[in-house]
């Protein structure tokens, strides 16, 4: 267990930070689809929400295994240090993704759900690591679950709409904002650790 309880605001910020990866991918899908249909949108929301939630919950379950969780004070400090490092790494990854250049693609009438599943599974790796961080702190798992589901659904809807109306350009901004939120969350946790 971590040294301090992670509050709802910090949980929300981490969920928002990891959802910017989903937002950026949704922007890409929105930029290439010919028409946004409700059924397709709901399916995409379901796929990303399922993968993000599964990633976080799997990360929490793996971290709960006694082998990974020591009960000493030193382990608590180490757990928080690992969590901060994970948030920093996730933030840097999003920054690097933002710098990457992409070409514009033509709009298509069909959506390749196989590609969406693959994308959702790949973005859930970020959620897996966030789940490790959540498990190393004292968090309410229901709050985490609700935050992940709501923030992911909003990210997909916003991303599809932004991509559909504005094209690929907002993707970079999404990566930068997500990186900033994750890095600020890491700094916040670090400052709170120093204050104790």
pLDDT tens column, 62-116: 877 766 555 444 455 666 677 677 777 777 777 777 777 655 555 666 778 898 8
- The CA distance from 150 to 139, in Å, is 17
Domain range list for the chain:
8-195
pLDDT tens column, 126-153: 888 888 778 777 788 898 999 999 999 9
Instruction: Please answer whether residues 37 and 138 qualify as being in contact, where contact means their C-beta atoms are separated by less than 8 angstroms.
Output: no
- The CA distance from 32 to 109, in Å, is 9
Confidence of residue 59 (pLDDT cuts 50, 70, 90): confident
């Amino acid at each position: 267990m971590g040294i301090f309880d992670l509050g709802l605001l910090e949980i929300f910020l981490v969920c928002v930070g990891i959802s910017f990866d989903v937002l950026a991918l949704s922007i890409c899908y929105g930029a290439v689809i010919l028409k946004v249909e409700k059924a397709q949108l709901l399916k995409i929301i379901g796929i990303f929400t399922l993968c993000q939630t599964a990633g976080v919950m799997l990360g929490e379950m793996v971290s709960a295994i006694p082998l990974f969780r020591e009960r000493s004070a030193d382990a608590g400090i180490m757990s928080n240090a690992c969590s901060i490092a994970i948030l920093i790494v996730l933030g840097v990854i999003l920054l690097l993704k933002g710098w990457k250049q992409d070409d514009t693609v033509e709009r298509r009438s069909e959506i390749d759900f196989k590609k969406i599943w693959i994308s959702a599974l790949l973005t859930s790796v970020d959620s897996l690591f966030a789940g490790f961080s959540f498990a190393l702190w004292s968090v309410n798992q229901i709050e985490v679950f609700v935050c992940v589901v709501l923030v992911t659904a909003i990210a997909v809807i916003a991303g599809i709409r932004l991509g559909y109306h504005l094209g690929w350009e907002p993707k970079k901004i999404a990566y930068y904002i997500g990186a900033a939120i994750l890095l600020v969350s890491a700094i916040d946790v670090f400052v709170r650790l120093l204050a104790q």
